[in-house]
Amino acid sequence: MANELTELNFDRDQIDLIKRTVCRGATDDELRLFLYQCRRTGLDPLSRQIYAIQRWNPQSNRNEMVMQVAIDGFRLIANRTGEYAGQLGPWWCGKDGQWRDIWVNGDMPEAAKVGVLRRTFTEPLFRVAKFQTYAQRKKDGNLTRNWLHMPDLMVAKCAEALALRTAFPQELSGIYVHEEMQQAGPSELDDPEPKEQTYANRRNPPEETTDWRARKFDEPKQNGGGGSKSDEPF
């Protein structure tokens, strides 16, 4: 096994470190699969761009390894394609359905929306993530720490991951960020990624200009943001 794993460009000391930290509790087969995914995506597990955690699987009645990628890893994979041209948003809405580019309401947002720009697309690709769909809860039913204290940031990460995966299916198909994994069941980690400052009002506009980029995207319209026909959740 050691020779097979070392062929994945990790030396023995690095493999041992990964199994003790980023891939803790994994079997040898799970560790081999995890290192293969690291090579496939080009992400560095020792930089926490990709990691494995144990989640409870009610079907098998045991904890199983689940591989997850930090949102920065998604951005890196998209950028390496040479097709990624930045983002629009995020925007948030409450129960009134009105999109806002900063969330200052004391209540939880109902949803977040992010648009991804790909150079070969003629329109931005928007995706919407609903808070109730993705909000992660502990076994007692209460929101986890980050979802309780940074709800705008967390649901915006889900919207961004949805948009990036749809825009870059070949590179990101089957890969998920931690914030999307509520449906996979509780994990042994509450909030595996470091806390981040909220990125409300962040923009990454592309340098080049095309017809659709000349449109006004600063203020989302009531019908869903950038005013394009692609501005739909699905």
Q: Residue 195's pLDDT is what?
A: 40
Per-residue burial over 200-224, b if 16 or more Cβ lie within 10 Å, else e, is: beeeeeeeeeeebbeeebeebeeeb
Say what the pLDDT of residue 182 is: 58
Q: Where are the domains of the chain?
A: 48-214
Q: Which spans in 46-168 are helix H?
A: 71-80, 131-134, 145-149, 151-167
> In what helix (H) or strand (E) does residue 6 lie, and over which residues does it extend?
helix 2-6
Token pair belonging to 177: 């960020």
Q: What is the pLDDT of residue 207?
A: 44
Give the pLDDT confidence score for residue 75 in this predicted structure.
93
* Among the listed residues 13, 20, 67, the one whose alpha carbon sits nearest the alpha carbon of residue 43: 67
Q: How far apart are CA 182 and CA 135, in angstroms?
A: 7
Question: What pLDDT was estimated at residue 66?
Answer: 78
Residue type for position 176:
Y
Smallest Cα–Cα separation from 17: which of 54, 51, 41?
51
Q: What sign does the dihedral 27-25-149-182 (CA atoms) show?
A: positive
Q: How far apart are CA 82 and CA 122, in angstroms?
A: 16
Rounded CA separation 50/24 (Å): 13
For the chain (234 residues), the mean pLDDT of every run of 10, in chain order, is: 48 85 82 85 84 72 77 91 95 95 91 96 95 87 89 95 93 82 51 41 41 43 41 34
DSSP string, 51-81: EEEEEEETTTTEEEEEEEE-HHHHHHHHHHT
d(CA 216, CA 218): 6
